Structure 1
Amino acid sequence: MRFYNVLILLFLFPLVVCSQTSEALIGERTFHFTDTLRERKLSTEIWYPTHDTGKPSLKKDYPFMVDPTVRDGIYPSSKHPLILLSHGTGGSRMTQEWLADILVKNGFVVAAVDHWGNTYDHKNAIDFVTPWQRSLDISFVLTQLLKDNSLNKIIDSRRIGAAGFSIGGYTVLALAGAKLDLEALNKFSETPEGIQETNIPEFPDLLKSVDEAAVRVSFLKSPPLKDNRIKAFFAMSPAIGQGFISKEQFTSIDHPIYIIAAQSDSIAPVKTNAAHYHKLIPKSQLYIISGKTGHYVFLNEATPELKKTGAPIFNDDKSVDRHAVHELTGAVAVRFFKKTL
């Protein structure tokens, strides 16, 4: 994607460029919640506008290019809309920090959750193939945030949105009311196209490690996933689109949906995922970032040292400027949430 195209597109979103009305810094805190009923530890990162006098700093030995934050900075004196963030499979609550930075600079509070058993440093096969658990994670954490005597003073409970990447994109669509057809997804996973999509780099030979009976039991026991407290949903390269085969699976959706994807995504191809969701979800919006943008363009921008390792998830095609893609995506997200919340 050429940089001048990004500049043209940013021109189309003027509300974002000049929307920040104060010189607030970014405050950051870490919370550790536990859903005892499901035995899931849910570490959560919170970013928020702060006027703390402390000096912003970068995390020590942090491998990503993000904005400095004020650790445990004072909370703002007024309420702000909240955006809940769901990471991709095998990622972490920190992997879309670039988006959190942009949202906070535009007046939002952001909360990102580590999905138990589905992070880079804690992998359980069953937690990679029971994505409905992730939506329950988000709802549980939202409840904890709103119960917190300090956080409920800075969160406007009437203005809550959710954003997610990859399987996190599915997560937020499920929270909106999308109902997965597990049989349809299983059938797709047996096709050549499906085998390619389920062969994820984060967990090689995943399906060989899965107890299919346990997955089915988990699916059947899952309660409804729609969370009526969340009013707008932003999905980046959403995955497992082939678990949806009819518009009837989306009849419960009654809030705005925005889908953004990368044209050259080989992990969650646009045809079977983003475009497929858009076709089935009435009134959803779809934007496809053109060029040789791949799936992992929505992850944090790595430091030069990390890029030198050659890791595919941190290195894009030479024609792609990941930072520019983040600026564009962030602008679209801010405009969407400001309009809908």
Structure 2
Amino acid sequence: MRSLRLLASALALLLSGLAQASVGHGTIAATAEDGPVTLYYPSADAEQAVRRGPFTLQVAPQGQPVRGNGRLVVISHGSGGAPWVLANLARSLVQAGFVVAMPEHRGDNYKDGNKPGPESWAQRPAEVSRAIDAVGRDARLAPLLQLDKVGVYGMSAGGHTALSLAGGRWSPGGFKRHCEAHLEEDFQSCVGLITRLTGGWLDGLKEWAALAVIRLRFDDDTPRVHVDPRVAAVVAGVPFSADFDMASLAAPPVPLGLVTAQQDRWLIPRFHGDQVVAACKTCELIADLPTAGHGALLSPPPPGLTGLVGDMLNDPPGFDRAATMPEVDRKITAFFAKHLLEDRAPRGQASPG
């Protein structure tokens, strides 16, 4: 109890000190190996309206960083994702003192979608590790951070990244076996947004073609693992997880939080998030959203989506985004504060022994 009181006191002091801080926004440039890393961080400069794609963000572009809580959270975007659709969670984290880094995953982002699925999943955890390295080399932010305890958040394909960094083992062959067993029931998770089943006579041909491609490309059963000792807390939101060895997620070596959405039509929960919840004996279910769809965690949500992508990502009827998502962001932020700051005490007080 004493440690919890100290943590609450430390957070209260931290938040009071950051009350006037704005959300700074910057970028670490791409390299020959990696895409750019988008940054959100506590700043002393005033926010202004900044246009990014179809979104208008209130941030301080290239604002002067100020000291926050000294911790970094890396966010792994979903398939075809952009750093703007997770800006609300980034704001919540920054207001609690965190620096947030969002690497652009090669071949599976809003500019380049040539490597979705297992090919991207295999490279994403290392891209997160190199993003941590890149922040550690940043002249303005590195002096304000300790990188021995880093948080990782991921949504959808990014949730797959998060589970990998939490100690999960998976293989392309596991993806193949899932699709062989459940192609019709979990069609979009196996084929993405290329096509859909409509109940018509072409469905059989679509399923045959999908399995032929999957069997040709994903027959490797070699376990994929990635260990980064700096990662100390992980949250996976609506993750692709059917290809994981669930035994590897029964007792993760780091605290693992989960967010699920029961109306998810892209990654059917019983094959993905719900399986992790059932398998993991030490995980925290941060939020189980009974009326939310797959796109609930995209915040702000992409406007004007139509067709198949709209069906998969738009909010289903009955989901109250305004009443739900700010609280989910607060809970995710609190999870990282608990596990990344719990050994800290207010100035002048010793940490509990």
Superposition TM-score tier, normalisation by shorter sequence: 0.7 to 0.9
1:23-52 Cα deviation digits (max 9, x unpaired): 100000011232x5xxx4321110000112
Deviating beyond 4 angstroms after TM superposition, the runs of 4 or more aligned structure 1 residues are 15-19, 202-217, 219-222
Tell me, yes or no, if the aligned pair for 1:32 and 1:41 is still in contact at 8 Å. no
**Distance in 1 separating the partners of 2:106 and 2:212:** 17
Instruction: Please state if 1:76 is matched with 2:57.
Output: no
Paired residue type of 2:89? L
Contact 2:87 2:300 in 1 (8 A): no
1:252 Cα offset (Å): 7.8
Corresponding residue for residue 267 of structure 1: 266
Mapped to 2, the partners of 1:98 and 1:330 lie a distance apart of 8
Please say if 1:166 is aligned against 2:161: no
Structure 2, unmatched stretches of 5+, are 1-7, 197-205, 341-353
Percent of paired sites with the same residue: 23
How does the TM-score come out when normalised to structure 1?
A: 0.81
Contact 1:64 1:302 in 2 (8 A): no
- Tell me which residue corresponds to 2:243: 243
Query: How does 1:113-128 map onto structure 2 within 5 Å?
Result: 113-124=103-114, 126-128=115-117
1:29 pairs with 2:21: no
Query: Secondary structure of 1:134's match?
Result: helix
2:350 aligned residue: none
Name the structure 2 match of 1:289. Answer: 288
Find the counterpart in structure 1 of residue 339 from structure 2: 340
Contact 1:86 1:112 in 2 (8 A): yes
- For 2:245 and 2:103, how far apart are their aligned partners in 1? 29
Measured in 2, the distance between the counterparts of 1:19 and 1:210 equals: 52
Give the secondary structure class of the aligned counterpart of 2:29. strand
- Going from structure 1 to structure 2, the CA distance change for 1:107 and 1:79 (only over 3 Å counts) comes to closer
The one of 34, 39, 46 equivalent to 1:46 is 39
Shift of 1:176: 1.5
Deviation at 1:91, TM superposition (A): 1.1
The superposition leaves residues 249-284 of structure 1 with CA deviations (integer Å, 9 ceiling, x where unpaired) of 237831100001111111112211112112222301
Query: Quick check: 100-109 or 190-199, which moved more?
Result: 190-199
CA contact (8 A) 1:116 1:127 kept: no
Residue equivalent to 2:87: 97
Which has the higher mean CA deviation after the structures are superposed, 89-98 or 198-207? 198-207
Change in CA separation of 1:221 and 1:17 when aligned onto 2, cut-off 3 Å: same
Picking from 99, 118, 129, the partner of 2:118 is 129
SS of corresponding position for 1:158: coil
2:26 partner SS: strand
Deviation at 1:105, TM superposition (A): 1.1
How far apart are 1:120 and its partner, in Å?
2.3
Show the counterpart of 1:10.
none
Report the Cα distance in structure 1 between the residues aligned to 2:320 and 2:279, rounded to whole angstroms.
31
1 CA distance for matches of 2:75 and 2:65?
20
Q: C-alpha separation between the residues in 1 aligned to 2:266 and 2:111? A: 21
DSSP-derived class of the 2:35 partner: strand
Which of the numbers 35, 55, 60 marks the counterpart of 1:64?
55
Which residue identity is paired with 2:237?
Answer: M
Amino acid of the residue matched to residue 15 of structure 2?
A: Q
Of 190, 193, 200 in structure 2, the residue corresponding to residue 201 of structure 1 is 193
Larger Rg: 2
Query: Structure 2-normalised TM-score?
Result: 0.78
Distance 1:308 1:123 in 2: 18
Shift in alpha-carbon separation, 1:276–1:322, aligned structure 2, 3 A: same
Q: Which residue of 1 aligns with 2:101?
A: 111
Superposed displacement of residue 216, structure 1: 5.7
